[in-house]
């Protein structure tokens, strides 16, 4: 193992409340307790692939002391994929050398961590992963920071929408983030007692949904709330905002809320509106839970650097923070299991 003097850190993919908590904890432990130099790489893998004058920033304890409460990431982010074009991964490794970075903490979701794994496998890059996603869809960890904040925001939104839905006797469809996994929708649906919660894992039954709202109207409740994941498929494919794909091949989802609202109105005759929560779910200050989890992840990631646990990722298992291999971490998408979905479905009506 090459000696570590300088630790780099980057944040990739969609931002999540809690990223700054990890940055603060890694920096503080590495600089204050282990005596490493710490640098932040700006804009995810882009900062190494297409460096700009500000792509690297020194990080000291004083720089990160008060960032725990701040949403977003002080390092910025991108969806740059160094494995999209041949030769780019080599450029990333070379740039790390030029920046004098001996070890890297990569904070991200399956895309960012997938790149970290390949760099470790292909070039022996000394890398530690830290799981981040509001979507909570990484299988190797019980949960990710950002998820609790996103669920809290979506729950609050649905609670607010209920009062206006009731006043105007409308159904409101609330479109929530989540491509392949409905964790945020499921959590917010349960917590806000939505009348119907729809997730990508379970095919929606439009006849049953229409009947449910008709029955509600018959008993005098001509209003209701539907929480729906952006990745729910109504007919044969995702509803997207544009045909373009990002560097990891993802389409930009969006539109299911509007389509579903039209369908519900047509079938029930009840006025139906839709609201897209979108990036509000990723914005603002992290909840206390996410501040604590991100701090614990960051401290354990720093320890993993010190131990030379290269090619691993920090993860929550029960109440412990452990390390697992990046291979395990990026293996499969964690979806909402049937029995948990039941906790939402039981209260439909």
Cα dihedral 253→258→260→264 (10° resolution): 180
The reply to whether 177 sits near ligand F6P by the rule CB under 6 A is: yes
Nearer to ligand F6P, 242 or 346 (CB): 242
Residues 135-154 that bind ligand F6P (CB under 6 A): 135
Residue pair 9/47 in contact by the 8 Å Cβ criterion: no
From 117-125, 172-180, 301-309, 328-336, span contacting ligand F6P (CB under 6 A):
172-180
The number of angstroms, rounded, from the C-alpha of 23 to the middle of its chain's C-alpha atoms is 16
Residue pair 329/131 in contact by the 8 Å Cβ criterion: yes
Assess whether 135 carries a catalytic annotation.
yes
Q: Which of 104, 253, 304, 305 binds ligand F6P (CB under 6 A)?
A: 253
Q: Report, in Å, the least distance between residue 258 CB and ligand F6P.
A: 16
From 1-9, 131-139, 255-263, 338-346, span contacting ligand F6P (CB under 6 A):
131-139
**How far is residue 292's CA from residue 295's CA, in Å, rounded to a whole number?**
5
Catalytic member of 15, 110, 111, 135? 135
Q: Report, in Å, the least distance between residue 104 CB and ligand F6P.
A: 21
Residue pair 87/94 in contact by the 8 Å Cβ criterion: no
Nearer to ligand F6P, 28 or 281 (CB): 281
Residues 227-246 that bind ligand F6P (CB under 6 A): 230
Q: Which of 91, 118, 166, 179 binds ligand F6P (CB under 6 A)?
A: 179
110 closest CA partner among 275, 346, 333, 318: 333
The reply to whether 224 sits near ligand F6P by the rule CB under 6 A is: no
Residue pair 321/314 in contact by the 8 Å Cβ criterion: yes
Binding-residue total with ligand F6P (CB under 6 A): 10
The reply to whether 181 sits near ligand F6P by the rule CB under 6 A is: no
Q: Is 14 left (phi over 0), alpha (psi -120 to 50) or beta?
A: beta
Q: What is the CA radius of gyration of the chain?
A: 22
Nearer to ligand F6P, 133 or 197 (CB): 133
Active site residues: 135
């Amino acid at each position: 193992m090459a000696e570590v003097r300088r630790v780099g850190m980057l944040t990739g993919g969609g931002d999540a409340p809690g990223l700054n908590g990890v940055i603060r904890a890694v920096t503080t432990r590495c600089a204050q307790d282990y005596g490493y130099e710490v640098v932040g790489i700006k804009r995810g893998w882009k900062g190494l692939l297409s460096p700009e004058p500000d792509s690297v920033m020194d990080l000291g304890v004083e720089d990160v002391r008060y960032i725990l409460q701040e949403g977003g990431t002080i390092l910025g982010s991108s969806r740059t994929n160094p494995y999209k074009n041949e030769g780019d991964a080599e450029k990333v490794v070379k740039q790390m050398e030029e920046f004098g970075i001996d070890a890297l903490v990569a904070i991200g979701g399956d895309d960012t961590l997938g790149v970290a794994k390949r760099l470790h496998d292909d070039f022996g890059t000394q890398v530690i992963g830290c799981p981040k996603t509001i979507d909570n869809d990484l299988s190797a960890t019980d949960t990710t920071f950002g998820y609790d904040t996103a669920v809290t925001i979506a729950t609050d939104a649905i609670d607010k929408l209920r009062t206006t839905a009731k006043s105007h006797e409308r159904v409101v469809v609330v479109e929530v983030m989540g491509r392949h996994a409905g964790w945020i929708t499921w959590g917010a649906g349960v917590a806000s007692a939505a009348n119907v919660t729809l997730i990508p894992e379970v095919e929606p039954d439009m006849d049953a949904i229409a009947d449910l709202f008709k029955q509600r109207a018959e008993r005098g409740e001509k209003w209701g709330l539907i929480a729906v994941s952006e990745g729910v498929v109504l007919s044969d494919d995702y509803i997207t905002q544009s045909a373009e794909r990002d560097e990891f091949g993802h389409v930009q989802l969006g539109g299911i809320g509007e389509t579903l609202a039209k369908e519900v109105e047509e079938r029930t005759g009840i006025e139906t509106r839709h609201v897209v929560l979108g990036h509000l779910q990723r914005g603002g200050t992290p909840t206390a839970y996410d501040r604590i989890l991100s701090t614990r992840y960051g401290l354990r990631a720093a320890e993993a650097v010190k131990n030379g646990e290269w090619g691993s990722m920090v993860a929550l298992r029960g109440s412990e923070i452990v390390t697992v291999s990046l291979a395990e971490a990026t293996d499969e998408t964690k979806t909402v299991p049937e029995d948990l979905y039941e906790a939402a479905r039981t209260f439909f009506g």
